[in-house]
Amino acid sequence: MFRCPVCDVEFQRLEYEGFPVLRCHACLGYLISRNRMESVRRVQATSVSQLQDEALAEKRDDTNDPLKCPRCRGAMRKEFIEEPASFFIDTCRACELVWFDGGELARLQLSYEISPKGREAAEYQRRMREMTVEQREQFERNLALLPKGDASVLSGFGATLLESLLRFFHASP
Ligand SMILES: [Zn+2]
Ligand SMILES: [Zn+2]
């Protein structure tokens, strides 16, 4: 089993949002394959408040030192994840692996929830859950008629969630 690039303890194998990951129980970081990063980011199974709790409770500082890839032992490269997530990940190109320090994976997911795409997806899912089968069919027909990029599906989107997310990212840089 690979070892944590920060604390050198053995990883635990577990699932995160349904995806296999390696986790360090000491520093709470995650090692995941690069091609799963986008899927994990887009999962909306965990509630926003749960993600916020996780991001805060498990928060560790970005590692400044260059890390060695747990698999090939080569030097990992720092890569900046842009606003509002705003942190560095450590990546190995050769192994296609990405290291997230504690709390960063939850932060990455939160940053998706706040994005226009994420809000649209959440609103879409919320409406779908509340609709009867007939309403759902009607809604999908209407949606198909909309011009591409039309934001009408977002009308009525609750501002509360968005505001609480914005506050969260402001309070915890
Ligand atoms: Zn560790
Ligand atoms: Zn590697």
Over residues 2-20, the pLDDT tens digits come to: 999 999 999 999 999 899 9
What does DSSP say about strands 30-33 and 77-81: parallel, antiparallel, or unpaired?
Answer: unpaired
Mean pLDDT, the chain, rounded, equals 83
Instruction: Tell whether the model's pLDDT for residue 78 goes beyond 60.
Output: yes
Instruction: Tell whether the model's pLDDT for residue 35 goes beyond 80.
Output: yes
- Cα–ligand 2 centroid distance for 14 (angstroms): 20
pLDDT value for 115: 83
Q: How far is CA 84 from the centre of its chain?
A: 12
Taking the CA of 69 as reference, the closest ligand is 2
- Cα–ligand 1 centroid distance for 19 (angstroms): 19
Q: Tally DSSP H helices, then E strands, for the chain.
A: 6, 6
Q: What percent of the chain has pLDDT over 90?
A: 43
> Which tokens belong to 127?
């409406």
| Mean pLDDT along residues 140-160 | 54
| Mean pLDDT along residues 108-130 | 81
In this structure, of 83-87, 90-94, 97-101, 150-154, the range with the lowest mean pLDDT score is 150-154
Instruction: Tell whether the model's pLDDT for residue 91 goes beyond 90.
Output: yes
Contacts of residue 166, defined as CB under 8 A and 6 or more positions apart, other chains included, come to 84, 114
In order of 22, 71, 108, 141, the CA distances from 94 in angstroms are: 18, 10, 23, 45
| Mean pLDDT along residues 125-132 | 77
- Cα–ligand 1 centroid distance for 101 (angstroms): 8
Total-model pTM? 0.74
pLDDT value for 155: 42
| Mean pLDDT along residues 130-157 | 62
- Cα–ligand 2 centroid distance for 3 (angstroms): 12
Q: How far is CA 118 from the centre of its chain?
A: 11
- Cα–ligand 1 centroid distance for 102 (angstroms): 9
pLDDT value for 2: 94
